[in-house]
Amino acid sequence: MMISEFMRLKATQGLRLTSRISLLLLLAIMSMNSFAGGSNGEKFKPGEMILHHIGDGHDWHILDYDGADGEKHALSLPLPIIVYADGQGLSVFMSSAFDHGKKAHNGYRLLTDDYIAHAGLDKKDFSAGKIVAVDAQDHVVAGTYVWDLSITKNVAALLFSIIVMAWLFLSVAKTYKRRAGLAPKGLQNLLEIVILFVRDDIARPSIGEKKYEKFMPYLLTLFFFIWINNILGLIPILPGGANVTGAIAVPIVLATFTFVIMNINGSKHYWGHIFNMPGVPKPILLIVTPIEILGIFIKPLVLIIRLFANITAGHIVLLVFFSLIFIAGEAYAALGWGVSVASVAFTIFLNCLELLVGAIQAYVFTLLSAIYFGMAVEESH
């Protein structure tokens, strides 16, 4: 009886989760409607749609809709623009002033593909989404470099994830103080399970019983930061949908932290193994030592490529299934509706799979970092 009741409860929870995911996917399809062809009958461009959704932006796109004028309009959350250029000065304003790249503001313009084509700019030097300085005639000022310190979508999502992490840990810390000596429950219990997992299955075995505690704050921050951002990246509506860990700059920064911590804490044995490997003849060291030195830089490179490639590939695959709906719909409307059923079903499955992948990537990045730390602080045998 208890087993059947448990299974019924789990089935109900599964249906609720599936319905929520389906609603989010429906909203995502609505938000990409403009890419299925504009009001002037232009063809759907899957490459542009995919790059748009995995890339960064100066606003947080929500959805597109047909206006009373028959044109496509975008509903989005504007973000702060902070730019500086010699001769133009510092300007701070909201991205809505650009009207999605349709006009300039305060001597600056957000480039679009239409403007680049109309102005005859070289796409090697000018790309859509870049902010440039323009003169009174709306011409790009040649040779003027613009320092863009704007709060983009990825930056805003990153800050939001930091706020979520701070709220999680501070609230749980208060709960521990309030319920000292009592069994954990709720969010406290959930986080304790994950924290103990990172400690007992990642840090201790990889670093060692004596020195693992020193690295626990960083490893926990690393795991939760990657995991939370991976989850938020799968939510297609605000405040999710940003490709934070799939933006190459974020894995580079995280891997740089690991690289610096690893080498700062490197023991005499660690550096001796790299530059003068014990028991190796001197002539062979001429070959082995350069390889070991190269290995110092390969380690963070592995972290960067693994996180960036896996997360970006997951987003691309999801968007490819969305694209099939519009590609089929351009041929025959009925075919588009038919394909949408299978496409949404596959996307729901992949979305659930990506939840697992997001957790695995957080685990792997943290595990490899812990292994590197363990190698650096390992004592001589």
- pLDDT tens-digit map of 40-90: 556 777 777 777 777 888 888 777 666 666 666 677 788 999 999 887 888
CA angle centred on 327, ends 313 and 329, rounded to 5°: 140
Domain range spanning residue 230? 153-377
* pLDDT for position 24: 52
Tell me whether residue 212 is in a domain.
yes
> Does 31 reside within a domain?
no
Has residue 45 been placed in a domain?
no
Tell me, what's the pLDDT at 120? 82
In a domain, 308, yes or no: yes
Q: What is the reported pLDDT for 336? A: 73
Report the greatest alpha carbon distance in the chain. Answer: 80
Identify whether 56 is part of a domain. Answer: no
What is the count of structural domains for the chain? 1
Q: Quick one: pLDDT at residue 251?
A: 94
* Separation of alpha carbons 179 and 77, rounded Å: 40
Q: Which two tokens stand for residue 142?
A: 């040649």
Tell me, yes or no, whether 183 lies in a domain. yes
Structure tokens at 36: 């299925």
Tell me the residue type at 264.
I
Within a domain: 134: no
- Give me the DSSP letters along 7-56: HHHHHHHHHHHHHHHHHHHHHHHHHTGGGG--TT-PPP-HHHHHHHHHS-
How buried is residue 378: exposed, middle or buried, by Cβ count under 10 Å (0-12/13-18/19+)? middle
Average pLDDT across the chain, whole number: 81
Beta strand segments in 275-328, E: none
pLDDT for residue 55: 80
CA distance 155 to 376: 32
The predicted pLDDT at position 360 comes to 93
Question: Which pLDDT belongs to residue 222?
Answer: 95
Phi, psi of 82 (to 5 degrees): -130, 105
Strand order from edge to edge, sheet including 80-85: 89-94, 80-85, 147-148
Within a domain: residue 83?
no
> What is the pLDDT, as a whole number, of residue 190?
86
Q: pLDDT value at position 162?
A: 93
| Per-residue pLDDT, 2 | 40
Listed as ranges, residues in the chain with pLDDT below 50 are 1-15, 27, 29-35, 37-39
The answer to whether the pTM exceeds 0.95 is no
User: How far apart are alpha carbons 60 and 98 in whole angstroms?
Assistant: 14
pLDDT for residue 367: 95
Of 235, 229, 238, the residue nearest 24 (C-alpha):
235
